[in-house]
Structure 1
Amino acid sequence: MNIPRPTAIDAAIATPPFQDARSARDWLKLLPLINVPVAHAEIRSAIMALNHSQIAALDRLKIIEQFRETIHVLQDGFLNRYTQKALPLTEIEHQSWQEALTLWQDLEHSYASIWQAAIAGQSDVTEYMTLLAERTLYYSLQVNICYILVHRVIPAAQWAQQFSHYTQAQRLGVAQQKAKDSLITIGGVTTPENIFIHSLLLSAANPFQYNLRNLMWISACLEVFSSRCALEHIAETLPNRPAFTIDFEHPAAPERRDRPSKDSEMAISTLQLAQALSKRIKLLRRGEMPEKIGLGTTLSLLAAETLLTDLYRQWCEHPVERCLPRRASQKTAQIGFGLSNLHQWMAIGRFTPPPQAETQISSEELMQIRLFGQTSASSQSAPVIRTQPWQVIDETATGLRLEAPAGDERIALQQLLIIQDQQQYLMGQIRWISEQDQQLTIGVQLLPGVPQAASIRAQDAARFGQTDYMSVLLVPALVALKVPNSLLLPTGWFRQGRLLELWDGYRKTRIRLVSILSRGADFERVHFVASGTMD
């Protein structure tokens, strides 16, 4: 078994602030939990020192068992410091993530080293063999989740370590034995194999497409769903559906294959999982609340049904071949982000700014027009349009996979973008995003329509007569695809029935907002209808 290395520590703080389980309990009572950063730093330092100490294995086990619940509370309180952020992370966000990751890694090391002592025959901890296997794999899973939370690809070394833990549990005959775990919400028991399958299925769920709430909900559900699966050489799946397969000679995330082809490969049986998911989806469609069927209170009924249906397709029903095959590509495309920036990009040579009434021109601007023929504003240089070259890895009729080095432009899930592909402009939003070795990879879901620059201003009774126009994008209707006229507006602008003045570069039109077609991180796509012309 590969035991993870403990985090390096300064010799000056190498001694833990306690000597045994009793003094550790007294120390824990004094931890300032109300101040999360300080408490997090103190307990992280204590665990580091514990891993370098000569404290007996049984006492170390008692200490970290006492610390578990507090550590999880602090780690949850630390999440808002590095999750739900645009990528690449800032220096402060990256440091916070690194501190959270280090704590999970040190806990994995703590349990793994005690487990190794039990394997070596240390009698006082031998009886905890199953518990130590479960805990070691549990914190290896937490390390994986910590990478996924910031859209980092799980390193090969981490997979190798986790596979090594599971292989050791199998060799010792404890992989299918139950261990009590108070952090398992339903039942309070699990097995090392269930934890390992939990990690594999989470990776197989295409986790880089989910926000924090959905991702943590999926992980919580997997505490139950992983018990419906097993690792076998001949896996049971839905008819004509391939199983997720792993190779112990090449540790990595599972892949769909028709069947294992060598002894080192095993597949995940998902037939019982498919039945469990299908049953819950049917109950949700009948109006059963998620908390009544063991799905918690985090998501609404509709959100839980949508997400569970997506997981069913990912884990149980997905064929080897895609419905829309990917075409490999070597071309480079220019990509732009940000609604205002995209408006300026689409306006080049194709958009005339809205006319300004004389009553809206200040006396200073009138004087400049009389003296110089223009205002100082009109003589300013053209705005800088931010675009970046991205490598197109592959593409389908409805999306693309793009890659570029991490730069100054920060991007996030569901963000709007426009792709310049030769002479055409494609509109899309980021479906998923991952980072590895300072390279960003994104999956783009294309949106129907051809974007055009436009400007709007409110015509509400409260804002009637305001002079400032807002830069937006206009997407004319596509009758063949049954796509109505729509506007891409900043988030928060939509209100059903709201009246706006639209300038499309040629004329003013009064419009009325009807409904939201889709939402993203930085935009709302809104259907509108004409409500009369304007002089």
Structure 2
Amino acid sequence: VGMWRAVHRSYQDAVREGLARVRVADTLNEVWRAQSPHEAYVAVLLVELANPYGRSERELNWVMRWAQRFAPYCALDTNVEGQKPGAYGVDTDSDCSLRPLGLLARTPGLLRFDGSTLAIQIQAVLAQFKRGVKPAALGLGEDCSASVSARLLLSLYRPWGLASSGRRFPRRARGGRVELTGDWLAIGFALNGELFQQPRASATPRGRLSDDMSLLTFGERVPRVTETKPAAPARAHPLAFESEQWEVLDQSVSGFRLQRPSDGVRLEHHQLIGIRPLDADQLLIADLSWLMYRSEGMLEVGVNVLPGVPRVVSVRPQAQTDGREPFHQAFLLPPSPALKSDGSLVLPPMWFRPGRLVELREGDAVREVCLRKLLLRGTNFDQCSFEPAGQLNPA
């Protein structure tokens, strides 16, 4: 018996015995200190709707607590006819959780999930945040701030209170393999064929002194020798920048579902990764949106590709006026009209601040940009929109 089939049977047993709505004391329920079988069942369904494999440990603990907090505001009934295809339902005779009603057969065990009252509750909680009420006073816990709670609740509002939003791009099954690396410098190395270095225009006085020393020693400046670099994969091994190969389970325009044996490089939720199908030349950058270990020992991940062909750039905060602030590796994603996405910058973690001025160098081109809106924040990156703030002369 699968896990979901066992959960459904437990709920059906409670309904059959007339106990589904009977509340009993439950010390594990941190909010109400009591729970009915119906509420316990709904809480499990809510956790599954919250994309649990895409949550950090801290977020998942909050989601489980809040699922118990909001479960009493959800309903299950047999009124499935005439509902929108995107509304959620659950087949209690199956081995799966909630699915859009449009994808479910009309079986005797089919129930409609109604979270409309829960949506009103979430709106009320968000309104209380604006009035300065603390999360603890609203039964959300003392270990989360109002801003973090509001952001997480907003992400739960649609799946918990409304309906399935559907996929923007359909998935299709596909075999094959991809190369994947989760190292920030390795991604830049794979794109440029060389390790990130400080731009030559920002050379330190010590670097210029070496040129003067050659002038004093040889009577003239010795020309720099340009080495012919081997291809990036050939140079990766000495620098420990080798990538892993993953099996492709399916893909869409916006991402991949991949798997590998559980032993391998450690990965984190919402980590920036570089990914390249073996039959392609271009490496793309992506967000690791969820991770899941299978019982057979395989690690399965969902990869959301950031739109655009990435380019390596050098960035540093423009607030430093002495020019000694070092540059950092970042990635520029140009606009992608086909995917209706504007250009963006992928910066080191916690770099984004609205209105922050950043010096951006790409080759010999130098410009100043102003950071505007945070698009995505991961464990090792900030993706944000930007706009020109003027032109700079190279140092």
Give me the TM-score of the superposition, normalised by structure 2.
0.74
**Distance of 2:68 and 2:197 partners within structure 1:** 58
Q: Find the counterpart in structure 2 of residue 253 from structure 1.
A: 97
**Distance of 1:210 and 1:300 partners within structure 2:** 17
Q: Please give the root-mean-square deviation of Cα atoms over the aligned residues, in Å.
A: 4.2
1:397 maps onto 2:242 in alignment: no
1:439 maps onto 2:298 in alignment: yes
The Cα shift of 1:428 comes to: 1.9
**Distance of 1:379 and 1:359 partners within structure 2:** 27
**Distance of 1:330 and 1:346 partners within structure 2:** 25
Q: Find the counterpart in structure 2 of residue 451 from structure 1.
A: 310
**Distance of 1:297 and 1:388 partners within structure 2:** 41
Contact map agreement 2:315 2:361 (CA 8 A) in 1:
yes
Of all paired residues, the percent bearing the same amino acid is: 24
The Cα shift of 1:471 comes to: 2.8
The SS at the match of 1:401 is strand
1:360 maps onto 2:219 in alignment: no
The Cα shift of 1:251 comes to: 3.9
1:213 maps onto 2:58 in alignment: yes
Q: Find the counterpart in structure 1 of residue 330 from structure 2.
A: 472
**Distance of 1:395 and 1:379 partners within structure 2:** 34
1:188 maps onto 2:33 in alignment: yes
The Cα shift of 1:178 comes to: 1.9
Amino acid in the other structure paired with 1:408: G
Structure with greater strand percent: 2
Q: Find the counterpart in structure 2 of residue 517 from structure 1.
A: 374
**Distance of 1:290 and 1:487 partners within structure 2:** 34
1:415 maps onto 2:271 in alignment: yes
The SS at the match of 1:340 is helix
Amino acid in the other structure paired with 2:275: I
Structure with greater helix percent: 1
- Change in Cα spacing, 1:396 to 1:171, as seen in structure 2 (3 Å) is same
- Change in Cα spacing, 1:358 to 1:349, as seen in structure 2 (3 Å) is closer
Contact map agreement 1:458 1:464 (CA 8 A) in 2:
no
1:277 maps onto 2:119 in alignment: yes
**Distance of 1:305 and 1:494 partners within structure 2:** 19
The Cα shift of 1:509 comes to: 1.7
Bigger relative contact order (CA 8 A; separation at least 6): 2
Q: Find the counterpart in structure 2 of residue 385 from structure 1.
A: 241
The Cα shift of 1:445 comes to: 2.3
- Change in Cα spacing, 1:293 to 1:213, as seen in structure 2 (3 Å) is same
Q: Find the counterpart in structure 2 of residue 201 from structure 1.
A: 46
**Distance of 1:229 and 1:220 partners within structure 2:** 15
Q: Deviations over 1:485-524 (max 9, x none)?
A: x43222244456666554423x152535434533211012
Contact map agreement 2:360 2:369 (CA 8 A) in 1:
no
**Distance of 2:380 and 2:27 partners within structure 1:** 40
The Cα shift of 1:347 comes to: 0.6
The SS at the match of 1:428 is strand
**Distance of 1:477 and 1:408 partners within structure 2:** 34
**Distance of 2:275 and 2:39 partners within structure 1:** 43
Amino acid in the other structure paired with 1:270: F
Contact map agreement 1:494 1:513 (CA 8 A) in 2:
no
Q: Find the counterpart in structure 1 of residue 178 from structure 2.
A: 333
Contact map agreement 1:343 1:454 (CA 8 A) in 2:
no
Gaps of 5+ in 2: none
**Distance of 1:229 and 1:482 partners within structure 2:** 36
Gaps of 5+ in 1: 1-155
The Cα shift of 1:415 comes to: 0.9
**Distance of 1:196 and 1:210 partners within structure 2:** 21
Is the deviation greater in 228-237 or in 449-458?
228-237
Amino acid in the other structure paired with 1:277: A
